[in-house]
Chains A and B, each alone.
Chain A
Amino acid sequence: MAKLLRINMTDRSAVMQDVPEAYKLLGGRGLTSTIVHDEVDPLCHPLGPCNKLVFAPGIVTGTAAPTSARVSVGGKSPLTGGIKEANAGSGWAPALADLNIQAIVVEGQPAQAGEWWGLFISWDGVKDQPVVEWFDAGEYVGQSTYDFYPQLFERFGRVYVAAIGPAGEFLYSNSGIVFDDQEGRPSRYAGRGGLGAVMGSKGLKCIVLDRRGAPGKAIADRETFEQGRKKLTNALMTHDITKPKGALNSYGTAVLINILNEAGGLPTRNFSSGRFEDAAKIAGEAIFEGNKERKGKELYNHACSPGCIIRCSNTWYRPDGTEHVSCQEYESVWAFGANCGISNLDDTGELIRLCNAYGVDTIEMGCTMAVAMEGGLLAFGDAKRAIELLHEVGKGSPAGRLLGNGTATAARLLGVRRVPVVKGQAMPAYEPRAVKGIGITYATGTMGADHTSGYTIAPEILGVSGKVDQFDRDKAALARNFQYATGYIDSTGHCLFIAFAILDIASGFEGTVEECNGVLGTNWTMDDVARIGKEVLDK
């Protein structure tokens, strides 16, 4: 039976609890948001002992459900001051599910500042339960993630790691929590909202999972699960966006650069324009062609996590053919590209690599850098200086701290009045004055400007609690239902990108519900989706 693992950083205790009845059908974002809602005082300091940091794999994470290796991380955000959920795809997520842990709740704070601890969680075959060991993680403090991840692999073998970089240690509001990809790269981020600082405030450097010998995720009704898994797999394998060698597998998410640019929706030079004259030079198509030239063959993208069919994660190579960074995805390329007036993929690649190395969110960091450009700290397009300043962020110098605490903070310090944030969080790569629907999502979302909080799924499901008509003057019902749909998908443990296929292929959508029924032994129908999503949003 799955357990709730409570880690108390004040007395360094680890307690396994039975999952309360009210939490038994929850997973992913549904569970992290519920625990934060139930247990965290909304008035607490986000970096104080009363905040909690919650990790939860999705409902079907750890099974053979396609594209479902997501982990949700929740807490009170130091960036927005509100509830926050960020999630990532990584082998860490199914490893947690395999260890029969439904959620880890990190509480308290060490009495002494400057203590840094690591957790090693493995399976005790004798006691038939997970076992937690603490280790002094001080030796990894101050190091780039690219430096200390290999040290952890050398020490523990092929394990799965959730960690913070120097940014989290400095308690920056733009720091994320990093997870390893399938090659062991520290490149998959629960990036938004400063949850890395929450982890840092608890003196927790990393959580290492060893799944060897673990029993794996329990499935209540395997036949129903298999039926659902096959339906979703078929949808993902046939839809133009998600199929092998389809849009995402070929060009990655940066395939959107040229599209948004044509629409006047690609924020440029700190949101002063919606079109970047060099957009085509940093687009997904340019990444594909650039890699082809440098590697001498066409390269298709890889899966960030086990069991993904969509495989949208790219690797960028240097002119000599050696690996530079993974990955140059749409938001990151835009943040340091168009939004900073930088038109060279090697420069955007280096800036993204440094974000991975120091543990900061690329969207928040890119928007902050653009504000710094507008504030005169450097010129738009000055990639060399931007790289130097990002190193300052990693060092924790005064300039670095100015830039590490979010776009709104930097704007205040630099006297910049054009500040692209909502509820304190920087806007992603969709200019809301051109893409008005996403503007509604930014404005009404509980977590600040977030492009992943309002995904569309099948109209017949969205229509449960409102009309589905893009031309209706009342946009509220549609925007609300998008957010319900997203809350549901984020709870299943599936990557949000399955939404591309299940909007158009209804059987794929049915498949996700059947997968959940198979795992949980429930009898949910498609009508339950809006309810499940609503319950997440109501938290």
Chain B
Amino acid sequence: MEGTQGQIRVEVWLYGPIAKYAGRESRGSYAQLFVDLAPGSTMQVLLDLLGLPDEEKGITFINGSLAALPGLDSDKKVELRDGDRVGISHRKAMWPFQYRFGVSQTDELKQEFRGRQDRGVHHAYGQSEEDSD
């Protein structure tokens, strides 16, 4: 799979209410679309192109690896490559720790977790974080 005229093509899945940012590709509860980007584009470029606001973006995957969670936006600077698959869930989606313990994670997210005192052993990192510990 290649993008047009030297561009890269990325497969994007949007889940839940944020499917609306796929426009005509929205199937209501989800959307699958292919996005052409300039080589070297990051996740931030993709998000800007989609018009997806940070406050609506939830659990995010890049090629099956967990890349970001609400409150841990460690995916923005990741450079995308031709053929990548990006999956983004809406803000309400959840993934309890015991059901993601040992899954593939991007290097950037691992670094984020390693820098935390709790080493990432939490269910959510957003609004509830201030109440933890």
Contacts and interface: CB of A to CB of B under 8 A. Distances in A.
B123 interface: yes
B27 interface: yes
A402 interface: no
Contacts of B114: 471
Given A280-B30, A505-B131, A240 B122 contact: no
Nearest to B65: A263
B107 to A, nearest CB: 12
A176 B4 CA distance: 56
Interface in A282-300: 283, 285-286, 288-290, 293
A238 B128 contact: yes
Interface string B28-45: 111010000000000000
A335 B67 CA distance: 27
Given A262-B87, A471-B119, A283 B30 contact: yes
Interface in A431-483: 434-441, 451, 454-456, 459-460, 462, 468-471, 475, 478, 482
Contacts of B100: 263, 435, 437
Given A288-B29, A435-B100, A435-B102, A470 B15 contact: no
A247 B94 contact: yes
Given A240-B128, A285-B16, A503 B97 contact: yes
B90 interface: yes
A506 interface: yes
Nearest to A238: B128
B5 interface: no
A260 B118 CA distance: 24
Contacts of B96: 241, 455-456, 499-500
B66 interface: yes
Contacts of A478: 101
A471 B109 CA distance: 12
B76 interface: no
B102 A289 contact: no
A265 B103 contact: yes
Contacts of A471: 110, 113-114, 119
Nearest to B15: A258
Contacts of B124: 239-241, 500, 504
Given A240-B94, A283-B15, A439-B102, A470 B120 contact: yes
Contacts of B101: 435-438, 456, 470, 478
A471 B105 CA distance: 11
B102 A258 contact: no
Contacts of B98: 437-438, 441, 454-456, 482
22 contacts: A239-B124, A241-B96, A241-B124, A258-B89, A262-B13, A262-B87, A262-B89, A280-B15, A283-B15, A283-B30, A285-B30, A435-B100, A436-B102, A436-B103, A451-B99, A462-B121, A469-B119, A470-B120, A503-B97, A504-B129, A506-B131, A507-B131
Given A248-B94, A255-B93, A286-B29, 11 more contacts: A239-B123, A247-B93, A258-B15, A258-B89, A262-B13, A285-B29, A285-B90, A438-B99, A459-B122, A504-B124, A505-B128
